[in-house]
Amino acid sequence: MTAAVPPWVTGKQATSLIGAAGEHYCMAQLLVRGYLAALTPRGVPEADILVYDPTGGLAAELQVKSRSGVSGHGWRMSKKHEATSHGRLFYCFVDFSQEPVPVYVIPDGRVADFVMRSHAAWLETPGRNGQQRQDWAGRFVSPNPHLSIDGFGEGWMEPYRNQWHMIMAVS
């Protein structure tokens, strides 16, 4: 199932709707499991959702990344994600191109390691015409990397599929 966005919704607007859908989807998944969770205001830099333990203390922060179609690249990230590692931050990668919709709940340290190592591997490979690649701020997280990255083979994200319990395990 590819998320159906009306034809009059295009570009950045469509991306914003898919992003909001992912955040609300994750919120619903948390709430039906009994987690105390709240969306953060727009513009909060690292967290889209805050998750609280039963006593009201902050248990985890979630950053949601959503996609609606199968992309060879995966989910768009940036250079800042190479260094983000707090211990209680998790990324929720939502894939609306599949049914049922999977969410990969991955600790920030694992994501940072993948982003850094996959980008380094990309820089080391020749470009389309054999030229040296130019560095840029864009990064991607992919369930099936096209390059050989030690510790991140095809399907490396599968063990994290719908692993919501990991969020409370850090508190």
Q: How many residues does the chain have?
A: 171
By CB atoms closer than 10 A (0-12, 13-18, 19+), residue 68 is buried
pLDDT over threshold 70, residue 170: no
Question: Domains of the chain: which residue ranges?
Answer: 11-169
Give pLDDT tens digits for 94-145: 999 889 999 999 999 999 999 999 998 888 888 888 899 989 888 999 888 8
Tell me the sheet residues that pair with 50: 38, 61
Q: What pTM, to 2 d.p., does this model score?
A: 0.88
For the record, the structure tokens of 25 come out as 């989807």
What DSSP designation does 51 have?
A: E
The larger pLDDT score, comparing residue 21 to residue 68, is at 21
Across the range 58-63, mean pLDDT stands at: 93
Q: Assign domain 11-169 to its CATH architecture.
A: 3-Layer(aba) Sandwich (3.40)
| 91 confidence band (pLDDT: 50, 70, 90) | very high
Give pLDDT tens digits for 20-41: 999 999 999 999 999 999 999 9
